[in-house]
Structure 1
Amino acid sequence: MTALPPSASADPESSALPAGGLTASMQALLQSQFGGVPRPVATPAPTPPAPEPQTGDEWPLAARTLIDSLIRENIRLKADIKALTEQVALAEHHADHDVLTPTLNRRAFLRDLGRAMGDGRRYGDPACLIYLDLDGFKAINDTYGHAAGDKALIHIAERLNANVREGDSVGRLGGDEFAILLRHADVSVARTKAQKLEAELNITAFEYQGQYLHVGGSFGVRAYEGQASAEEWIAEADAAMFLVKKSSR
Structure 2
Amino acid sequence: MDPLAFLAGAAAAAGACASLCMYLRARGAEREAARLRAELDVQRHAADHDALTGLPNRRAFYQRGAVLVADPSRHPLVAVVLDVDGFKEINDVYGHSAGDEVLVTIARRLSACAGTGLVARLGGDEFAGLIASHGTPDEQAARLSEALAAPLRLAGQIVTVSSSVGLVPVEPFAHLADAVHRADAAMYRAKSARRRPLLSHQHLVHTTIRLGRPRHSVEKDNTRPTPAS
TM-score under structure 2 length normalisation: 0.71
Secondary structure in 2 matching 1:163? helix
1:68 corresponds to 2:13: no
Q: 1: CA distance between counterparts of 2:16 and 2:137?
A: 66
RMSD: 2.9
1:163-174 to 2 correspondences below 5 Å: 163-165=113-115, 167-174=116-123
Give the 3 Å change call, closer, same or farther, for CA 187–223 of structure 1 in structure 2: farther
Indicate the structure whose relative CO is greater, using CA pairs within 8 Å and at least 6 residues apart. 2
Please list every run of 5 or more consecutive structure 1 residues that lacks an aligned counterpart in the other structure: 1-50
Q: How far apart are residue 56 of structure 1 and its match?
A: 4.0
Corresponding residue for residue 198 of structure 1: 145
Q: 2: CA distance between counterparts of 1:84 and 1:190?
A: 46
Give the 3 Å change call, closer, same or farther, for CA 60–128 of structure 1 in structure 2: farther
Q: How far apart are residue 188 of structure 1 and its match?
A: 2.9
Q: 1: CA distance between counterparts of 2:85 and 2:173?
A: 28
Q: How far apart are residue 149 of structure 1 and its match?
A: 2.2
Secondary structure in 2 matching 1:162? helix
Aligned length in residues: 193
1:176-215 to 2 correspondences below 5 Å: 176-182=125-131, 185-186=132-133, 188=135, 194-208=141-155, 210-215=156-161
Corresponding residue for residue 65 of structure 2: 113
Match for residue 32 of structure 2 among 75, 80, 88: 80
Q: 1: CA distance between counterparts of 2:138 and 2:41?
A: 35
1:29-48 to 2 correspondences below 5 Å: none
The range that moved more, 68-77 or 234-243, is: 234-243
Give the 3 Å change call, closer, same or farther, for CA 53–129 of structure 1 in structure 2: same
Identical-pair percentage = 34
1:156 corresponds to 2:103: no
Secondary structure in 1 matching 2:149? helix
Q: 1: CA distance between counterparts of 2:144 and 2:81?
A: 11
TM-score under structure 1 length normalisation: 0.66
Could you list the structure 1 runs, at least 4 aligned residues long, displaced by more than 6 angstroms after superposition.
189-192
Corresponding residue for residue 93 of structure 2: 143
Give the 3 Å change call, closer, same or farther, for CA 94–124 of structure 1 in structure 2: closer
Corresponding residue for residue 132 of structure 1: 82
Q: How far apart are residue 230 of structure 1 and its match?
A: 2.7
1:4-15 to 2 correspondences below 5 Å: none
Please list every run of 5 or more consecutive structure 2 residues that lacks an aligned counterpart in the other structure: 196-229
